[in-house]
């Protein structure tokens, strides 16, 4: 049995990590922990960074993974602090055998100014690190799915007068 930490943010990168896990083979009984870090610099920003939104995002992906990987144990956790520090702390405390992070592909100046979470985790984690990057094809496919979903919701609301989940 192994412990795999999934460092998930509420973005396309978080979804890509979930999709990666769903599409790969894992040993029966593998324990997954989906970790989302609310960074203090984001506390007063847009609603998508709120604890409630993060909890909903994690719950949806946990449910999806649990259906696709029924022999796995999947838990979620939300914590406050620096993403780099909290991910590394969770790797040590759990302890994780592997951590999966996303790479936003920041330009060198942005990476220098903001710091790269995936790079920090790769350099300092005491376990294996897998970095999920988004291909152009994945980004295009997901963008098209969002447009189709939005169109379908608009038609549904116009026809039925109900909200769309």
The three-class DSSP label of residue 131 is strand
**Is the Cα dihedral 51, 104, 11, 44 positive or negative?**
positive
pTM passes above 0.85: no
CA distance 17 to 117: 15
| Contact indicator for 121, 88 with CB cutoff of 8 Å | yes
Asked: is 3-134 a CATH 3.40.50.620 domain? The reply is yes
Read off the pLDDT of residues 3-42 as tens digits, 9 standing for 90 and up: 999 999 877 888 889 999 999 999 988 999 999 998 865 4
pLDDT in tens, 111-131: 444 458 888 999 999 999 999
CA geometry: angle 83, 86, 100, nearest 5 deg: 75
The domain limits of the chain are 3-134, 135-165
**Residue 99 contacts residue 125 (beta carbons within 8 Å):** yes
């Amino acid at each position: 049995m192994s412990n795999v930490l999934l460092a998930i943010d509420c973005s396309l990168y978080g979804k890509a990590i979930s999709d990666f896990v769903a599409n790969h083979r894992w040993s029966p009984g593998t324990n997954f922990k989906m970790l989302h870090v609310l960074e203090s610099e984001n506390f007063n920003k847009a609603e998508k960074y709120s604890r409630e939104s993060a909890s909903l995002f994690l719950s949806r992906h946990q449910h999806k993974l649990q259906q696709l990987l029924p022999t796995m144990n999947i838990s979620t956790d939300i914590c406050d602090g620096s993403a780099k520090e909290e991910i590394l702390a969770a790797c040590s405390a759990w302890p994780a055998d592997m951590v999966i992070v996303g790479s936003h592909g920041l330009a060198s100046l942005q990476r220098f100014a903001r710091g790269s979470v995936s790079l920090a985790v790769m350099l300092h984690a005491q376990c294996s690190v897998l970095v999920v990057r988004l291909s152009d094809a994945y980004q295009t496919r997901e963008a098209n799915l969002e447009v189709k979903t939005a169109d379908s919701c608009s038609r549904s609301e116009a026809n039925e007068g109900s909200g769309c989940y």
